Amino acid sequence: MRRDKSKNLFEKALKSIPGGVDSPVRAFKSVGLNPIFIEKAEGQFIYDVDGNKYLDFVLTWGPAILGHSNEEVFREIKLVAEKGISFGMPSPLEVQLAEKVKSMLPYIDKIRFVNSGTEATMTAIRLARGYTKRDKVLKFNGCYHGHHDALLVQAGSGVATFGIPSTPGIPEDTVKTTLTCEYNDLDCVKEALKNKDVACVIVEPVAGNMGVVKPEEGFLEGLRKVCDETGTLLIFDEVMVGFRIHSQGAYGLFNITPDLATFGKVIGGGMPVGAVGGKKEIMDYLAPEGPVYQAGTLSGNPVAMACGLKTLEIYERDNVFQEIMNIAKDFYAEVEEICSKTKGISFNYVGTMFTLFFRDRAPKNLTEVNQCDFDRFSRFFKFMLDNGILLPPSQYEANFLSVKHTKADLELYIKLLTEFVKKEGLEEA
């Protein structure tokens, strides 16, 4: 495939945009390529400026669960945009989307809409601190909760360590109240919470930002129990996994109720929407009802609300989650079969998300993800791209399925994976 136009655009972008991209993973640095620039997307396919067509497993990093460019959603956006694209005042669509989310997720009493997942998690943590009157926050290595200062940390040594900044520009004092534990390490959490001075534990109930990593049996239940015992709020960050691991998210899949949950991606249908929701007594601490301040000029933007609302209406009406799972079942089984007969490859999936890891056993935390063969992943990415399949350009990312993916699409993935395994000489003797 020729990608001359993408190459030229990237060279131009480098002169005007830091790194040539507006979000780092798009730079394709981890796979040793220049990024491809996209001209359009439709259904399960995405098209670059050079006219190349790719079967898309990125799906704008999760939101496009209906596939790209759904006609019903487009019509709704157009109707609303014709009345005005921003009011800076309340609109009926905010109420309708709030009611829709509440009807789908019965543990949510109230919800506040923002413009991104980062804003949602930032708000949830501020709210937890204000409600509990505690300062400390506990997060897990490999779980990404947006780029706000308090959570861009990495672990030190030992158990229940304080985080240190993982990027320049964040003062150490800013993260001195952030604790980190390894994902799936419940003992670490118990140690960190024993003094009852932690405001909240924030976790991706199914990790997606180090690839798809599953919670071990009893981990989430244990978090709920220790949070209850210590007066700590439990926050499920479902910005990525919301409506993707189950039609009722982690609540439906694991039968565990968080105190607060954050959402994004699917809830906006591709528009910039985030949200934090939860119990009434906690949510009412947000201004103007309560003392914890949060605001946003474009929060509840009518076009974004319309996009999210129509997406969720179609999702529920057409039983989208189950439709995807019906076709994914055989696909997952075939990939698992290949991995069982192959050296150095393992597989994790939950709901409509999956990751192929280049290590012998599926990882259970970031330390194990870091043991993957990243060079081999890079070769796999390039091989798939050259054969018309776009994967997330990082071993640390989840792949996504949409209701538009067909059996033939997934068979193509299987065919190419089988070819790659043979090409790399990975078959078991």
- Residue 167, pLDDT score: 76
Answer whether residue 163 shows pLDDT above 60: no
Answer whether residue 213 shows pLDDT above 60: yes
- One domain for residues 110 and 211: yes
Q: Is residue 146 part of a domain?
A: yes
Q: Is 265 a catalytic residue?
A: yes
Q: Is residue 281 part of a domain?
A: yes
Q: Is residue 303 part of a domain?
A: yes
Considering the entire predicted model, what is its pTM?
Answer: 0.95
Q: Which of 317, 349, 365 is the last residue of a domain?
A: 317
**Of 100, 139, 190, 265, which one is the catalytic site residue?**
265
- One domain for residues 86 and 44: no
Domain region containing 99: 72-317
Assign 149 a pLDDT band (cuts: 50, 70, 90): confident
pLDDT-above-70 percentage for the chain? 97
Q: Is residue 373 part of a domain?
A: yes
- 51 contact partners, CB below 8 Å, separation of at least 6: none
Q: Is 15 a catalytic residue?
A: no
**Tokens 């990243």, residue located:** 374
Cα distances from 139 to residues 245, 263, 373, in angstroms, run 21, 17, 26
Q: Is residue 243 part of a domain?
A: yes
Kindly report the CATH number assigned to the domain that includes residue 336: 3.90.1150.10
Assign 161 a pLDDT band (cuts: 50, 70, 90): very low
Cα distances from 38 to residues 42, 49, 50, 264, in angstroms, run 12, 6, 9, 22
Q: Give residue-wise pLDDT tens across range 305-328.
A: 999 999 999 999 999 999 999 999
Assign 264 a pLDDT band (cuts: 50, 70, 90): very high
Kindly report the CATH number assigned to the domain that includes residue 273: 3.40.640.10
Q: What is the mean pLDDT of the chain?
A: 94
- Residue 147, pLDDT score: 87
- One domain for residues 238 and 361: no
3-state secondary structure the chain: CCCHHHHHHHHHHHCCCHHHCCCHHHHCHHHCCCCCCEEEEEECEEEECCCCEEEECCHHHCCCCCCECCHHHHHHHHHHHCCCCCCCCCCHHHHHHHHHHHHHCCCCCEEEEECCHHHHHHHHHHHHHHHHCCCEEEEEECCCCCCCHHHCEECCCCCCEECEECCCCCCHHHHCCEEEEECCCHHHHHHHHCCCCEEEEEECCCECECECECCCCCHHHHHHHHHHHHCCEEEEEECCCCCCCCCCHHHHHHCCCCCEEEECHHHHECECCEEEEECHHHHCCECCCCCECCCCCCCCCHHHHHHHHHHHHHHHHCCHHHHHHHHHHHHHHHHHHHHHCECCCEEEEECCEEEEECCCCCCCCHHHHCCCCHHHHHHHHHHHHHCCEECCCCCCCCEECCCCCCHHHHHHHHHHHHHHHHHHCCECC
Q: Is residue 154 part of a domain?
A: yes
Q: Is 404 a catalytic residue?
A: no
- One domain for residues 165 and 63: no
Q: How many CB atoms lie within 10 A of CB 45?
A: 18
- One domain for residues 325 and 301: no
- One domain for residues 194 and 103: yes
- One domain for residues 137 and 263: yes
Q: Is residue 429 part of a domain?
A: no
**Tokens 């400390």, residue located:** 136
Q: Is residue 83 part of a domain?
A: yes
One-letter amino acid identity for 241?
Answer: V
Domain tally for the chain?
Answer: 2
- One domain for residues 323 and 313: no
Answer whether residue 196 shows pLDDT above 70: yes
Assign 400 a pLDDT band (cuts: 50, 70, 90): very high
Distance CA 174, CA 256 (A): 31
**Of 54, 107, 131, 144, which one is the catalytic site residue?**
144
- One domain for residues 113 and 242: yes
**Of 56, 237, 259, 409, which one is the catalytic site residue?**
237
Which of the two residues, 294 and 174, has the higher pLDDT score? 294
**Tokens 């981990």, residue located:** 219
Answer whether residue 159 shows pLDDT above 80: no
- Residue 1, pLDDT score: 87
Q: Which of 297, 317, 337 is the last residue of a domain?
A: 317
Is the distance from CB of 233 to CB of 223 less than 8 angstroms? no
Q: Which of 286, 317, 348 is the last residue of a domain?
A: 317
One-letter amino acid identity for 397?
Answer: E
- One domain for residues 358 and 380: yes
- One domain for residues 270 and 416: no
Assign 157 a pLDDT band (cuts: 50, 70, 90): very low
- One domain for residues 146 and 241: yes
